[in-house]
């Protein structure tokens, strides 16, 4: 029977503050998209998000490309992305897809009866490189052999950051220090805890109140009022209505009488300049909703 005999959880990198170089590691481009585990089982292909949501119907071109690969059984770890005119992946472009999404493939967990999770990354990446030819599917790009030079390349190209990986590491489900990420741009996930009333010509709502978990509590991180289109304002407002609640989920809500509080279920991707002295986001911009990450996993960036 053509079947991958397990269902995996993705291996996640640990955020570090500073770029570094370490022999025996590779330094890949950090893509700004949706993490997807791709299962091929005979003629059937399933694309599954990191929190177990079926996304096959969302990316039919990628599903067809996975289905055309030679192995009968296959499990690939990928990031679904859309590139801008400078060949930089942008999460925002996935919200209103005008170009064909691609999948950057960076790991192979299973192929034709072989469980590769215990094999070193060097072997697993070799399997990816033998399987993938550029097109809808692409092999994740190594930016440079040296981690510090990879960081300089990422800054020069305007990438989100770098993912550093220990070539000797097995595939470890969940968060691991054998994979590490360092960022170039400040961009993180936050829980949507409420919204304010619209003002002026704005319809539906004014700003979103954001939070993240710390010490077991959902704590206030600031407001975001930019980055919305007329369509996204309408779509978000519609999603908010079933989540309205009387009291804030935040442990430290701001004093604002115009807020409609929401159950902490939705996760927003936010770009921002920096943190203010009182621990709030400076110049935040809404990029889109993340459907691939549970709200309970959203913590303040370390």
Closest CA to 163 of 150, 147, 146, 180: 180
User: N- to C-terminal Cα distance for the chain?
Assistant: 45
Question: Other C-beta atoms within 10 Å of 13: how many?
Answer: 20
The correct CATH number of 11-183 out of 3.90.190.20, 3.30.470.30, 3.40.190.10, 3.30.160.40 is 3.30.470.30
Strand pairing partners for 11? 174
Query: In the chain, what are the domain boundaries?
Result: 11-183, 187-297
pLDDT at 271: 87
pLDDT at 262: 98
The correct CATH number of 187-297 out of 1.10.287.3510, 3.40.50.720, 3.40.190.10, 2.40.50.140 is 2.40.50.140
* Mean pLDDT split into 10-residue runs, the chain, 302 residues: 93 92 96 96 96 94 97 97 93 83 98 97 98 94 95 91 97 97 89 94 94 95 92 94 96 91 96 86 90 91 76
pLDDT at 89: 94
By CB atoms closer than 10 A (0-12, 13-18, 19+), residue 243 is: middle
Tell me the two tokens of residue 145. 């052999």
Dist CA 238 CA 205 (whole Å): 11
Dist CA 204 CA 237 (whole Å): 6
Strands 142-144 and 25-30: antiparallel
Dist CA 188 CA 281 (whole Å): 11
Q: Determine the distance from the C-alpha atom of residue 1 to the mean position of all C-alpha atoms in its chain, rounded to a whole number.
A: 33
Query: Does the active-site annotation cover 165?
Result: no
pLDDT at 185: 78
pLDDT at 205: 95
pLDDT at 79: 97
Q: Please report the DSSP string for 90-109 in residue order.
A: -GGGGTS--S--EEEEEEEE
pLDDT at 99: 85
- Cβ–Cβ < 8 Å for 143, 12: no
> Can you give the pTM of this predicted structure?
0.79
253-292 confidence digits (pLDDT tens): 998 888 999 999 999 999 887 888 888 998 898 999 998 8
- CA 194, 287, 56: angle at the middle one, nearest 5? 100
Answer whether 11-183 and 187-297 agree in fold.
no
Question: Which of 30, 40, 165, 223 is flagged as catalytic?
Answer: 30
- Cβ–Cβ < 8 Å for 195, 206: yes
pLDDT at 115: 98
């Amino acid at each position: 029977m053509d079947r991958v005999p397990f269902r995996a959880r993705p291996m996640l990198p640990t955020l570090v503050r500073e770029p570094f170089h370490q022999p025996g590691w590779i330094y890949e481009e950090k893509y700004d998209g949706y993490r997807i585990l791709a299962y091929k089982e005979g003629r059937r292909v399933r694309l599954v998000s990191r929190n177990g949501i079926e996304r096959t119907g969302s990316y039919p071109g990628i599903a067809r490309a996975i289905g055309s690969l030679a192995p009968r059984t296959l499990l690939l770890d990928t990031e679904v992305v859309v590139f801008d005119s400078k060949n930089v992946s942008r999460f925002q472009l996935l919200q209103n897809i005008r170009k064909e999404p691609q999948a950057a493939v960076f790991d192979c967990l299973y192929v034709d009866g072989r469980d590769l999770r215990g094999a070193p990354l060097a072997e697993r990446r070799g399997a990816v490189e033998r399987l993938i030819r550029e097109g809808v599917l692409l092999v994740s790009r190594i930016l440079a052999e040296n981690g510090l030079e990879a960081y300089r390349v990422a800054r020069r190209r305007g990438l989100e950051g770098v993912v550093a990986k220990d070539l000797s590491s097995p595939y470890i489900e969940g968060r691991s220090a054998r994979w590490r990420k360092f960022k170039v741009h400040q961009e993180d996930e936050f829980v949507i805890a409420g919204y304010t009333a619209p003002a002026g010509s704005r319809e539906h709502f004014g700003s979103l109140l954001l939070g993240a978990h710390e010490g077991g509590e959902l704590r206030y991180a600031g407001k975001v009022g930019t980055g919305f289109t007329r369509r996204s304002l309408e779509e978000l407002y519609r999603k908010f209505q079933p989540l309205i609640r009387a009291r804030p989920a935040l442990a430290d809500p701001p004093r604002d009488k115009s807020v409609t509080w929401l159950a902490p279920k939705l996760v927003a991707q936010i770009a921002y300049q920096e943190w203010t002295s009182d621990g709030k986001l400076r110049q935040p911009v809404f990029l889109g909703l993340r459907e691939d990450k549970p709200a309970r996993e959203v913590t303040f960036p370390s």
